[in-house]
Structure 1
Amino acid sequence: MPASDDTAAADTAPPPTVSVVIPVHNTRPYLDRSLGSVFAQTLDQRRIQVIAVDDGSTDGSARYLAERARHHPNLTVVHQPASGGAGRPRNVGLAHATGDYLFFLDSDDHLGTEALARLTRMALTHGSDIVYGRIVGADGRAAPVDLRTTAAAVTPFDSPVYWTLAAYKLFRRSFVEHHRLRFTEGRLLAEDLPFGITALLRAETVSVVADYDCYYLHGRPDDSNASRQDTDWCEYLDYIGGVLAGVAAEVPPGPHRDTLMVRHFHGEILMPFAAPYLARDTAGRRAMAAAARPLVDRYLTDRVLAALPPGLRLRAHCLRRSLDDELTAVVRADTGTRPRPPHIDTDGRVFARYPYFRDPARTLPDTCYDLTDRMVLRQRLTGWRWSGGAVRLRGTAALPHLGGGAVEVLLHGSGGDYRIPARYEGEHWLAEVDPATAADGRPLPDGTWGLKVAVTAHGGAGTTGPALRREAWLVPETPADPKAPPDGRDAAGLAPRTVARGPAGPAVATLFRSRPHGHLHLHLGTPCAGPPVGALW
């Protein structure tokens, strides 16, 4: 019998660009959002194959999917008995996929409307085996990593991509099949680790789309995400041992392997040593510690230990030295009340005040508590404008967990360095830079001056004790006014202007962003070639 026109058209139609695989198990309340985000993509639906694999749902998800399939010809629904995790339904979906690319979408999350178009465009342009899209946390769930820089090619060793090994990213299907990548079946937690690790370590080109919110990672009101479920942690740590043996087989000992292991100590090895650890009795805690100790012995190099934050550094040290009581005290300190302010030595070293710090009866070294290199100034420049002949600046700045202190604006240039005190309350500061008096009460010389903010803060001893000082460049944010012209000017205007400098005479003053980092600078003298920044207040 001759084929109908519709059948012939289907036989000659090109394969889809991307196959979206969605494992579904009792997520009916979220399917409108998840599936709807795929059907709302700006990428032509004829180029999208949607494969929803119902994994033994009992909440009406199967009926819902069947109904949607009647209205969306690009949706294929596969039904199977419950398998105990997302691994098997993803593998089944992969077996049905015909697209050039694969995207794995969890049925309680959703996509930005341009996500598939942007991800596939990046892959096609650069020949990518994997493309990461920017991930956004929602409904109380945090994104695993903040991808900020779009890049045609990155590696697990020079970017944060290795810090999210979950399935929700774009893969070239031929690459997946060539390396025979599949998900671990029958697991609720970490079933995607072997797939994600092997893919990243074997991919020739890994790209990142960070200038668009591609994937929305949702928490559930009932706290029923798979990652929140109770787990046999001893069995889990044994499974992780097998996963890390695979990492070790791919990457020889040395700095590159250590870079990866830092992430695994954060994400897998030490992760259970929090509330799940405290929920067990003494025997259960010791069993968990015994299960983790072989991983610590095998993979905790000095380089890895130094890269961990103090809380995890102490956990790892206690596990390695079989200090079970000390381990419990450290975990309890992290899950209890607000931590005490850090201790600051007279030489400026800063130490976390975890239990047994400098306790002569214990064997916990200072290096486990040291957080000096982790004390980063958190600051934002939130307002800037001319007021008369002076620049008024405001922002927020703080050194976390350190109380009190003072804020200064620093002017750095070839003619010297000058400090201008700021009014500081809470984390908010306000300062005024007047070219007539900015040079320690004298006129500021001609030239280009970089602007920084500096915070001096104290520890538990208060303002009479040692202090820590940190500086950071001020970086103007994009003007809030959407009507601002592209050169950065807005209604308040920060075009070059003539300012008085007392006996030094007037000068043309311009505020501008440096290239490529966008740091705020003040130029005095002839008009600056760079575009002035727009005002924000």
Structure 2
Amino acid sequence: MPVKVSVIVPVYNPGPYIEDCVDSLLRQSLPPDEFEAVFVDDGSTDGTPARLDALAAEHSHFRVIHQENSGWSGKPRNVGIAASTGEFVMFVDNDDYLGDEALERMYDYGVANGADVVVGKMAGKGRPVPVELFRRNHPRATVANTPLIDSLTPHKMLRRAFLDRIGLRFPEGRRRLEDHVFVTEAYLRADNVSVLSDYVCYYHLKRDDASNAGFQRFDPVGYFKNLREALDVVERYTEPGPVRDRLYRRWLREEMVQRMRGRRLLALPEDYRKELFDEIRGVVVERFGPGVTAGLQATQRIVAALIAADRFDDVVAYAEWETAVVPKAVPGTVEWADGALRVGFTAEYTSGGAPMTFPASGAPTALDGPPEDVAQAIALVGADAVARFGKATADLVMRERSSSAQFFQPVEITHETVKTQDGPEGRVRLVLHATATVDPAVASGGAPLGGGLWDAYVRVKLGGWTKECRLGPGSRPGRTLGHAGVVAGRVVLPYWTAHGNFSLDVDRAGKRLGLGTLGAAEITAHGDRFSASLPLYVPGDTKALVRLTAPASGTSVEATGTLSAADGPGALLEAALPMDVLKGTTWRPALSLTPDAGEPRFLTLPVALRGEPDGVHLVLPPRPGVVRLLARKTRRTLRRMVGAALGKVAPTLKARLRRKA
């Protein structure tokens, strides 16, 4: 069959970090005869070349090309393009990995939409990735209608014929931002770009040794020389005006202003800060006009104006002020309703640990030049925040802990201005009240939540900042939040983490579900009927599975049951038992709440059933508290007996016997 996708992997001394990449390629849902993996070994000096040769010998769709070291990723990627035979090429770094269905989904999406470029949703493990771009799918994206320009890493799928038609290849040699030059031109010259956001296609990792190229300190002169080449691409393929300004703004914001803000700036050595500042200022003055800076947030415009005015000390002072500004999200009620969790919370910014206050009246910030000093800059930001408060937002993002896959949840917001000081110089707090809906059936980009631990983050856009924080702390760290829900074939348990933050346990919880404390008050058995009142939320009737195991023989039988909403809180389990099998034997029941899962998970119930001629009878073992009480009494009795016996023997023997006792 024709090869649909050629995966191109430039390789240089990855060591064990390449294994996740290889494993993800072997797990792809796209059949092996429909894609190929082309590893281009750029002169590795570790054991990787032999490892790749062994893989290629074992898997016919893996190929390896060995070459002398070129110093950077551009040439290996170009060599991979030349060797590829696929309709599309997909670029993957050797220390990252793909989602199991990434190639199949991205290829099908690209073909369906006639795309020259397909951008798959990314998850960042220890490193940032675009967020706003992946709120939803964009079948026909452009740099004008979506924040495409936020995603400039090369980890895309591109039509090979498109690359050949326009002659697009990566700049080669040891240089920075070769991916910016390549991807920007691809966006601007493609007939169509499609963004796939409902499935995590690419996992972008920070290595434990932080040796990824993007985490190394760079030479500012060379870096910003390469950055100018990306700006040249924009100038070549756009006309002066709003679109060009919007594209330029991406580099001004992310590569210059953000490097001169907050902790990111203050973490740098002082001499390197100034060296970086001087190179950034050169680009700002040389390349960016008023239309570029005008589209920045107020906080960013102030930094850009201070950079252009060559006021390095004020940039540092402003960064010191900004480091104290952090968001806080306080959880409210969390409850099940109509098959979903309704999560209430309030969000606002704090400064120095206290709620941040703003002037009671404000106006949008308009800068004809830099502020007079940092105090005026802070006042301008405050007035702008008040004026634009009606557009402030607070999003709830659920992020899977192990993979960092994240998805936005629907949120309803109201805005409250809280007075803290009256009078002409009055101050106010800006508070967002929100209720998010987390529906386990669609919370993962329209699909059900996958098994794992999902942490809740609140992403606050207010006052020119976009910052995120955990939702918490709650009032009962380490405790569950009401009942688990059995929804969309998942068991979803809301709980507070040890630090009091809100999280969801999906299909993992055991003891915390509370089934181990059930007794005669909740479980009944009569005739061939078995029923139990369970501390669970169910939105409607759902299937359950009861497995009965005979401890003496290990024999198991299963019975299908039904979970339904009880009259009060909780759910009712009912099942008909196969009496012809159960008679004359004691059985231990276990319950699967998700029987249609690939491997149903069974939770043992703290009772036993005895099959008798007139039906099944419930057998309740001693409660754990009773067992502990009996054990304590037994130990006391034994100590008294030993003490009495020792009183009748010689002292020299007493110590020896006491030790043995």
- Scaled by the length of structure 2, the TM-score of the pair is 0.55
**Paired AA for residue 267 in structure 1:** E
**Paired AA for residue 136 in structure 1:** A
| Residues 268-347 of structure 1: pairs in structure 2 closer than 5 A | 268-273=255-260, 275=264, 279-281=268-270, 285-334=273-322, 339-340=351-352, 342-347=356-361
For the residues of structure 1 that align with 2:226 and 2:378, how far apart are their CA atoms? 30
Percentage of pairs with the same residue: 31
For the residues of structure 1 that align with 2:420 and 2:288, how far apart are their CA atoms? 32
Work out which of the two has the higher radius of gyration on C-alpha atoms and give 1 or 2. Answer: 2
Specify which of 414, 419, 427 is matched with residue 454 of structure 1. 414
| Residues 119-518 of structure 1: pairs in structure 2 closer than 5 A | 119-138=106-125, 140-146=126-132, 147-187=134-174, 189-273=176-260, 275=264, 279-281=268-270, 285-334=273-322, 339-340=351-352, 342-348=356-362, 359=373, 366=380, 370-372=384-386, 373=388, 376-378=392-394, 453-456=413-416, 465-468=426-429, 474=435, 476-479=437-440, 481=485, 483-484=487-488, 491-492=538-539
Per-residue deviation, 1:329? 2.2
Distance 1:55 1:240, change over 3 A: same
Distance 1:337 1:471, change over 3 A: closer
For the residues of structure 2 that align with 1:38 and 1:189, how far apart are their CA atoms? 27
**Paired AA for residue 90 in structure 1:** R
For the residues of structure 2 that align with 1:323 and 1:380, how far apart are their CA atoms? 38
**334-343 vs 356-365, which moves further:** 356-365
Q: Deviations over 1:244-296 (max 9, x none)?
A: 122112112211112112211122233543656864555x5554333223421
* Corresponding residue of 1:105: 92
For the residues of structure 1 that align with 2:175 and 2:259, how far apart are their CA atoms? 15
Number of positions where the alignment pairs a residue of Structure 1 with one of Structure 2: 404
**Paired AA for residue 261 in structure 1:** Y
Per-residue deviation, 1:118? 0.7
**Paired AA for residue 88 in structure 2:** Y
Distance 1:312 1:38, change over 3 A: same
Do the aligned residues in 2 keep the contact of 1:238 with 1:291 (CA within 8 Å)? no
* Corresponding residue of 1:19: 6
For the residues of structure 2 that align with 1:231 and 1:165, how far apart are their CA atoms? 18
For the residues of structure 2 that align with 1:37 and 1:459, how far apart are their CA atoms? 54
Distance 1:479 1:110, change over 3 A: closer
Do the aligned residues in 2 keep the contact of 1:122 with 1:209 (CA within 8 Å)? yes
Segments of structure 1 that go 5 or more residues without pairing to the other structure are: 1-13, 383-450, 495-537
Secondary structure of 1:476's aligned partner: strand
* Corresponding residue of 1:447: none
Per-residue deviation, 1:479? 4.5
Q: Deviations over 1:374-432 (max 9, x none)?
A: 772325599xxxxxxxxxxxxxxxxxxxxxxxxxxxxxxxxxxxxxxxxxxxxxxxxxx
Do the aligned residues in 2 keep the contact of 1:19 with 1:49 (CA within 8 Å)? yes
**Paired AA for residue 138 in structure 2:** A
Distance 1:312 1:84, change over 3 A: farther
Per-residue deviation, 1:144? 2.5
Per-residue deviation, 1:122? 1.1
* Corresponding residue of 2:527: none
For the residues of structure 2 that align with 1:311 and 1:84, how far apart are their CA atoms? 38
Secondary structure of 1:192's aligned partner: helix
More strand per residue: 1 or 2? 2
- Give the alignment's Cα RMSD to 1 decimal: 3.6
**Paired AA for residue 115 in structure 1:** A
Distance 1:34 1:200, change over 3 A: same
For the residues of structure 2 that align with 1:117 and 1:148, how far apart are their CA atoms? 21
* Corresponding residue of 2:616: none
- Scaled by the length of structure 1, the TM-score of the pair is 0.67
* Corresponding residue of 1:37: 24
For the residues of structure 2 that align with 1:58 and 1:87, how far apart are their CA atoms? 19
Per-residue deviation, 1:359? 4.4
Matched, 1:83 2:78: no
Do the aligned residues in 2 keep the contact of 1:311 with 1:330 (CA within 8 Å)? no
